[in-house]
Structure 1
Amino acid sequence: MKVLKKLLYAIPIAGIIFASCTDVEKMEIEHIGGFNTMNNEESEAYYAELRAYKETARNYGRPVAFGWFSNWAPSGVIRKGYLTSVPDSMDIISMWSGAPGRYEITEAQKKDKEFVQKVKGIKLLEVSLLSHLGKGRTPDWVYEEVEKQAEEEGWNESKLNEERKKARWKFWGYTSGNPEGADMKEALAKYAKALCDSLFVSEWDGFDIDWEPTGGFNDADNTLTYRGYNGYSNMEFLIKEMGNYIGPKSDPEGKGHKLLVIDGYINHFGPELDEYIDYWITQSYGNSSPNYRPQSGNLKKLIITENFESSATSGGQLLNQARWMPENGTTYKGGVGAYRFDNDYGNTPDYKWMRQAIQINQQVFNEWKAAQNGENTEGE
């Protein structure tokens, strides 16, 4: 606790924003970024400062640290599955194996979730490969009668899937079969509200649309992947409808809102969607710079990510991605992160690469900011 005490009292409250939170990743204190917090006056002061640091990312005040978290299982002595074990300076986490829209979480998960949200100030997002109308929000009972009939009549899998699709469409009010019909728009509006309502009920901090229609979908039914003359018009309509409830468009006065982000093929969407989206996330796996950029050109919203499903041991290109900044020098990137970043827990120290990336991510931003102000940063 001596290191923490020194940090807390050596840095004036008004000046802790950058220094204390980059130093977080250097601390050798068990309950910081690896274990549950100690509940005392010193740790309370530390976490208050940490939450203040998180607020500096509002309105793109600095680049963020992002990651997709898999294998959420907060139990036992091995702490890889705990959200409370991630580095304190993480800003946003998409719950790749959690944050279900319709299902209850365990008491252990609830405690783990509430701690990182309320104490560490980390935002937790639901994430889904949105491949068809109703995905993740269609009640199970919609399919029960169809499945009963399939068993009685001996349907094959193809017939069952077709009838399940029809039952799903009917539930959401899409009956015409015309992907450009008025009933499709009405169904998408209903679905958008259902997607967002669950976030408020279950207290998640936003939604991450994983958009991979040309490679990641195996259950598409042409409702969201339909391409009209204007591109993926149905998906764009859904995003705009979600924007009534979450994302920057839902918060014209800037009072705070649940996040709406898109990852994957972000280049599919036109610049007019930029006002609905908090962050565009590019899966630049194995690349030191972004492979896709938002059509709007707003790089303050661009988060670059590496794949720790395959590169957790070596770190892949994560540190180079953290160093990358837009070539023209007039702006900065939105952040850096990794897919299945919890696999970095097994390195020594735990989260070895993410901790370094967080520091580099902020360092290059501070250098950029100093250059804009004409400051000399040599020797810092």
Structure 2
Amino acid sequence: MKLFKKILFILPLAGLLFTSCSKWTDAELKEIDHIGGFNTMDNEKSEAYYKDLRAWKKTAENYGRPVSFGWFSNWAPSGVVRKGYLTAVPDSIDIISMWSGAPGRYEITEAQKKDKEFVQKKKGIKLLEVSLLSHLGKGRTPKSVYEEVEKQAEEEGWSDSKLNLARKHARWDFWGFKSHDLNNKEELESALAQFAHALCDSLYTSDWDGFDIDWEPGAGFNDADGTINYSTFTFLVKEMGKYIGPKSDPEGKGHKLFCIDGEIGGLPAELDEYVDYWIRQAYGQSNPSFNTPGNKPEKLIITENFESSATWGGQLLRQAAAMPSEGYKGGVGAYRFDNDYSNSPDYKWMRQAIQINQEVFNKWKAEQGQEDSKNL
């Protein structure tokens, strides 16, 4: 067995290393030996630590505090190098969007299952599926749908364009859009309703914690087919909102998260009540905008791009410190934040950002208290 060391945001507990909930985001470095396949504590004594960690995670519910967020790429929990492990991320991370895939679309390995369940059940981290929802059926259409046309194409020597058209129509037929007429609103919406149900149903079947729609029609779509545009996207979000997000939980008993990132500026305000968090790709911006479709900054997560700036942190720390003119932001994070693992200490910039984000929120809270006392 190998001994691993981990840098944690520590909440001291009696008999361990811990003191109070306010210390969760202290960037104090503690070295803890870890035995076995996980880069984390997992024994009877440490369960008290994880119990308090999960309790602290719940303080983010109903926007009680800002969250920490990131898109995780290259999920590969194997070997001594810990970069591909979810269990290696800082304990204070709240939400991870699985950019490397897996949720709802692929079978996962036993190692991934073990890695996933530990961070969900022990650490209270929410794991989301993320997808560029550019067309009807994306990520949920069985491969068998295409087998017949692909066989025919091979036998008859079809051109690529003819095969691609046949694949598209086969996919549309599978979801019930059999007229192939984009002006047939009723039939298209019926098909999108079935698609929305399938997108959400698999989250429950495979035990994922929510969905993150990457909405980038102006930049990120290279496989659009006309079935999802601004109009039909609004319909799709509302349909998904029947199963996940705040609208699916009128009694406040708990629900799977519903997030939208990307080009959120042009989306209608009516979608705000369906969404838990809006995520702004404020890459390279030291003074990001806090506007959202619902003008509620506490629902906005600001993110930096660690695909290109993980080594030096980009503007992440400035984004963590930034606050709207009124209220507070919903959180801070980074795209491909797992690249921060390679810094020293591991996750150097994310750890600092989480601490700064909490500090400016605590300062804002204190100022609100001072204002309240003046008005008494």
TM-score (norm 2): 0.92
| Structure 1 stretch displaced more, 92-101 or 45-54 | 92-101
CA contact (8 A) 1:303 1:337 kept: yes
In structure 2, the CA distance between the partners of 1:17 and 1:6, relative to structure 1 (3 Å rule), is closer
CA contact (8 A) 2:97 2:127 kept: yes
Q: What secondary structure is seen at the aligned counterpart in 1 of 2:71?
A: strand
Which residue is equivalent to 2:374? none
Please, which of 214, 221, 226 is the counterpart of residue 218 of structure 2?
Answer: 214
1:167-193 deviation per Cα after TM superposition (whole angstroms, max 9, x unaligned): 101110112312452101100100000
CA distance in 1, matches of 2:138, 2:128: 16
Please, which of 140, 149, 162 is the counterpart of residue 165 of structure 2?
Answer: 162
Please, which of 46, 61, 64 is the counterpart of residue 64 of structure 2?
Answer: 61
2:12 is aligned with 1:7: yes
2:134 is aligned with 1:131: yes
CA distance in 2, matches of 1:337, 1:6: 21
CA contact (8 A) 1:265 1:292 kept: no
Which residue is equivalent to 2:295? 297
In structure 2, the CA distance between the partners of 1:150 and 1:260, relative to structure 1 (3 Å rule), is same
Deviation at 1:239, TM superposition (A): 0.3
2:334 is aligned with 1:331: no
Give the 5 Å matches for 1:119-268: 119-176=122-179, 177-225=181-229, 232-268=230-266
Which residue is equivalent to 1:372? 368
**Percent of aligned pairs sharing the same letter:** 71
In structure 2, the CA distance between the partners of 1:31 and 1:120, relative to structure 1 (3 Å rule), is farther
Deviation at 1:268, TM superposition (A): 2.0
Q: What secondary structure is seen at the aligned counterpart in 1 of 2:303?
A: strand
Q: Specify the code of the residue in structure 2 equivalent to 1:42.
A: K
CA distance in 2, matches of 1:222, 1:234: 9
Deviation at 1:267, TM superposition (A): 1.0
CA contact (8 A) 1:284 1:290 kept: yes
Moved over 6 A (4+): 3-6
RMSD of the TM alignment (CA)? 2.3
CA contact (8 A) 2:262 2:280 kept: yes
CA distance in 1, matches of 2:46, 2:268: 45
In structure 2, the CA distance between the partners of 1:245 and 1:313, relative to structure 1 (3 Å rule), is same
CA contact (8 A) 1:266 1:293 kept: no
CA contact (8 A) 2:27 2:355 kept: no
Which residue is equivalent to 1:29? 32
Q: What secondary structure is seen at the aligned counterpart in 1 of 2:68?
A: strand
CA contact (8 A) 2:10 2:26 kept: no
1:255-281 deviation per Cα after TM superposition (whole angstroms, max 9, x unaligned): 110001000001121111100000000
CA distance in 2, matches of 1:6, 1:203: 28
Q: Specify the code of the residue in structure 1 equivalent to 2:351.
A: R
Gaps of 5+ in 2: 372-376
CA contact (8 A) 2:39 2:87 kept: yes
CA contact (8 A) 1:24 1:88 kept: no
In structure 2, the CA distance between the partners of 1:333 and 1:234, relative to structure 1 (3 Å rule), is same
Q: Specify the code of the residue in structure 2 equivalent to 1:299.
A: P
CA distance in 2, matches of 1:35, 1:23: 23
1:197-226 deviation per Cα after TM superposition (whole angstroms, max 9, x unaligned): 00000000000000000110100001002x
CA contact (8 A) 2:98 2:128 kept: yes
Deviation at 1:17, TM superposition (A): 2.7
In structure 2, the CA distance between the partners of 1:258 and 1:37, relative to structure 1 (3 Å rule), is same
The count of corresponding residues between Structure 1 and Structure 2 is 363
In structure 2, the CA distance between the partners of 1:179 and 1:36, relative to structure 1 (3 Å rule), is farther
Which residue is equivalent to 2:47? 44
Q: What secondary structure is seen at the aligned counterpart in 2 of 1:371?
A: helix
CA contact (8 A) 2:137 2:171 kept: yes
1:222-256 deviation per Cα after TM superposition (whole angstroms, max 9, x unaligned): 1002xxxxxx1100100000000000000011111
Q: Specify the code of the residue in structure 2 equivalent to 1:224.
A: I
Which residue is equivalent to 1:229? none
Please, which of 95, 98, 104 is the counterpart of residue 95 of structure 1?
Answer: 98
Deviation at 1:104, TM superposition (A): 1.0
Q: Specify the code of the residue in structure 1 equivalent to 2:243.
A: Y
CA contact (8 A) 1:336 1:357 kept: yes
| Structure 1 stretch displaced more, 65-74 or 289-298 | 289-298
1:50-70 deviation per Cα after TM superposition (whole angstroms, max 9, x unaligned): 101100000000000000000
CA contact (8 A) 2:340 2:350 kept: yes
CA distance in 1, matches of 2:33, 2:141: 43
1:71-116 deviation per Cα after TM superposition (whole angstroms, max 9, x unaligned): 0000000010000000000000000003331321000000000000
CA distance in 1, matches of 2:52, 2:28: 14
Gaps of 5+ in 1: 226-231, 376-380
Which residue is equivalent to 2:339? 343
CA distance in 1, matches of 2:166, 2:13: 62
CA distance in 1, matches of 2:323, 2:45: 36
